[in-house]
Structure 1
Amino acid sequence: MKRWLRMTFLLISLAPVLSGCWDMKSIQFSNYITALGFDFRDGHYVVYGQVLDFSNIAKQEGGKMSAVAPVWSGHEEGETINTALTNLYKTSQQRIYWGHINAIVFTEAALVKGMGDFFDGLTRFGETRLTQWVFGTKEPLDKLFSVTPFFNLSPLASILHQPEDIYRQDSYIRPIRLYKVLAQQKEPGYTILLPSLHINTNTWKREGEPDPKLELDGIFALHQDKLGKWIAKSQVSGLRWLQKGPTSSHLTLKKNGRPIAVITVEHVKGHIKPANKPGAPRFNITIKGKARISEVIQELGVAAFQEEAAKDIRAAIEQTVLLGKKDGVDLLSLEHTLYHDAFAQWSKLTANGKKRLSDYALDTIEVNVKIIDSGMLRDKEEPKREY
């Protein structure tokens, strides 16, 4: 009996020690890669990594930082992607953890090489996920990764890591996640539209000095995984009217070249269908949306505003399609629509996917924009996230 009591007392005294997380590592004993950049130079794959101090990020939750949040960026190269990634270990000082990668950025040279080579080495690794935001850029990656947002906040509060917040306010260029890029690569006739990141040094100043900020200045259009064309944001205004999910787009209405009003078009729904007509493929587009008036310069009435909005949206879509066709880029993925809705015709015209569809045109564009209120004294409903 006494022996049993001694054993019980011994086990109870050891319990607090045994319950500890002995293999748990503190946050400061690992380096956390938050963004990856891919380049291709002189026949070698070049990998850039952005590293943040997570202990400082944790402090920001209780208030603003008095100093700029530190950011580190490093790069290595190799004959393969895996070799380049592994070479980062040589100077990392501590264990690198890849599970916090939130964004992937490709240079123009990497996109010309093709995304497939880069993704193969990345997606096979167990620590990474497929939910990262994917971008292209013409900027040097080390400079891009060093740009910080306002108020000394971490880069995690920038467009690089949180592009959906800006998109909900200005739905011009839709951000895209890695799993969607991988899926679209496999779809016949699909054109991947990769947002283009740019460093803007003109808009903001801090204490009179230029304060660089990130912005989306265009798109990289890719077929499967190869670059087709970079197109400026101003040239693809028609794309925003056919993007899926919650949108909010500002549209300046003009009459005889002069602004008459500004409206915000929301809840846009666009559909593309092949027109059942002989000859080269033609497509019908229908656009429906609800709008509210944001500003009135010249009072012409709701009906006139709606008519002008429909005309402007129709013209923007036509311009986008013509621009893409001129550059050999199917910006609306019309070939993919033909593949889904008229497979026999698609198969005949593309030799069953061996060549791109080049001869196509728009048949009709029907636009119905309904202005539902004047925009005054109204709380905007927060749209559901679809990212």
Structure 2
Amino acid sequence: MIRVFLLISPFTLFLLTGCWDIREPQKMHYVYGVGVDYIDNQYVIYLQFINFSNIAKSEKTSSDATPSEIAHAKGKTIEEAIYKLYRSADQEIYWGQMAYLLLSEDALKSELANSVLDTFTRFRETRYQIYVHCTSDSIEEILLVTPILNKPLDNSKLSTPLNTNTLEAFTKPVDLRKLIIGLNEPSHEVALSLVSINKNWVTEKENPSTETAINGVCVISKDGFKGAITNNLVGGNRWMTGQKNLGNITFNIGDNESNYITVDIEKLNLEVLPIVKGNQVTFEIDIDFEAILNGFKGNLNVNELEKGIAKKVKEEIKTTYEEGLNLDVDIYRLSEYLYRDNVKMWKRIENDGKIPLTKDSISKITINVNKILSGRKVFQDSVGE
């Protein structure tokens, strides 16, 4: 029996599972955000490494723990810049936690945008759920911004943009998957969220803090950066994305120029109908939603409110559309609506995926306010028919 055991035991060692190739989590640096700039004919890559010590813990965490660190390097290609960072890293760098990609306007120009996207779509550790944003501000400063009240970095606006969409859907977040689809379908243009630095947050009077803000969109195409639409000029974009909850609008009521009212909009439905007449195509836009009144004074008339809401929404849609035309951008992707509805007509008039558009291409905008809610009734002021 002893001889049998001696013969078998060496072979059983090969059947045991080992940990010789394990990747120990505590011995890796985790890339959470990536910024890409293009300066003096070189790519500048910024890697934001997240500190997981303050995340997913029930006990109190140390406020002194650094939430993240930023590393940057330059190279003739993105890959060269990344490998320069590898040489200075003291642990293995893991890309599977990457949550967002921030691109400068210079990095989006010309053929550079396709090169940047190609790098991250080909790499096996990155995912298609990565959110993509653009900025004209300093990428380094934006990556150094941390959420207010010492919240974990995985609650930042760049990595979880849908967190605030229930409050206001100012723009529609775009991930890597949607970006690739949008660039490959008519009109081969995509509007990314434009990120800036907001210095209106204050933690202490002598120590103001900063936060990131979405204040517009930048449009890219297969050929590169097309331009940006910011602030009040981009308001119409929210009505045309098909999102249900959109935030609010403010408009004037009556003859008094100082009598403004703010209305919340929700449960929106959008329909865009291409109208083909010969070789001409126009579009009719039909939008219906519910409105909720915030604070107001006096007794309001429903018809007056509906007219005011419809007028404001139409103005925003037209303003943003015309800003897009100034940039040679099909901001509402009207070309795709025709492509889906009448592909034969689209093929007849399209040029590089886009159809010719003018200010008159939107022939009709119909706004239907299905219901106006006045909220909780606390005062005697009311909304009447």
Q: TM-score, normalised by structure 1?
A: 0.87
Q: Which shifted more, 73-82 or 45-54?
A: 73-82
Q: Partner of 1:376: helix, strand, or coil?
A: coil
Please tell me whether the aligned partners of residues 237 and 317 of structure 2 are also in contact (alpha carbons under 8 angstroms): yes
2:243 to 239, 242, 245: 245
Show the 5 A alignment for 1:94-243: 94-113=91-110, 114-224=112-222, 226-243=224-241
1:382 is matched with none
Deviation at 1:207, TM superposition (A): 4.4
1:283 is matched with 283
Residue by residue over 1:1-53, the C-alpha shift from the partner in whole angstroms, topping out at 9 and shown as x without a partner, is: 79999999x99xx9xxx677564444321000001111112222221100011
Q: What residue ranges of structure 1 are gaps of 5+ in the alignment? A: 378-387
Alignment partner of 1:311 is 2:308: no
Cα RMSD over matched residues? Answer: 2.9
1:357 is matched with 356
Alpha-carbon distance in 2 for matches of 1:272, 1:368: 14
1:78 to 69, 75, 80: 75
Q: TM-score, normalised by structure 2?
A: 0.87
1:53 to 3, 27, 51: 51
* Identity fraction in percent: 28
2:90 to 64, 72, 93: 93
Deviation at 1:63, TM superposition (A): 3.4
Please tell me whether the aligned partners of residues 46 and 70 of structure 2 are also in contact (alpha carbons under 8 angstroms): yes
1:339 is matched with 339
Deviation at 1:146, TM superposition (A): 0.5
Please tell me whether the aligned partners of residues 335 and 353 of structure 2 are also in contact (alpha carbons under 8 angstroms): no
Counterpart of 2:109, as a letter, is V
Alpha-carbon distance in 2 for matches of 1:226, 1:55: 39
Counterpart of 1:95, as a letter, is E
Q: Partner of 1:40: helix, strand, or coil?
A: strand
Please tell me whether the aligned partners of residues 74 and 81 of structure 2 are also in contact (alpha carbons under 8 angstroms): yes
Q: What residue ranges of structure 2 are gaps of 5+ in the alignment? A: 378-385
Alpha-carbon distance in 2 for matches of 1:205, 1:85: 35
Q: Partner of 2:294: helix, strand, or coil?
A: strand
Alpha-carbon distance in 2 for matches of 1:300, 1:6: 96
Show the 5 A alignment for 1:13-92: 21=19, 23-59=21-57, 61-63=58-60, 65-67=62-64, 69-92=66-89
Deviation at 1:209, TM superposition (A): 1.9
Alpha-carbon distance in 1 for matches of 2:7, 2:244: 65
Q: Label 1:282 to 1:19 Cα distance change in 2 as closer, same or farther (>3 A).
A: same
Deviation at 1:210, TM superposition (A): 1.4
Deviation at 1:127, TM superposition (A): 0.8
Residue by residue over 1:185-226, the C-alpha shift from the partner in whole angstroms, topping out at 9 and shown as x without a partner, is: 101214311001111113434343210111011110122351
Q: Partner of 2:270: helix, strand, or coil?
A: strand
Count of aligned pairs between the two proteins: 372
Please tell me whether the aligned partners of residues 204 and 211 of structure 1 are also in contact (alpha carbons under 8 angstroms): yes
Q: Label 1:103 to 1:173 Cα distance change in 2 as closer, same or farther (>3 A).
A: same
Residue by residue over 1:239-258, the C-alpha shift from the partner in whole angstroms, topping out at 9 and shown as x without a partner, is: 11111233232122312443
Q: Partner of 1:148: helix, strand, or coil?
A: coil
Q: Partner of 1:188: helix, strand, or coil?
A: coil
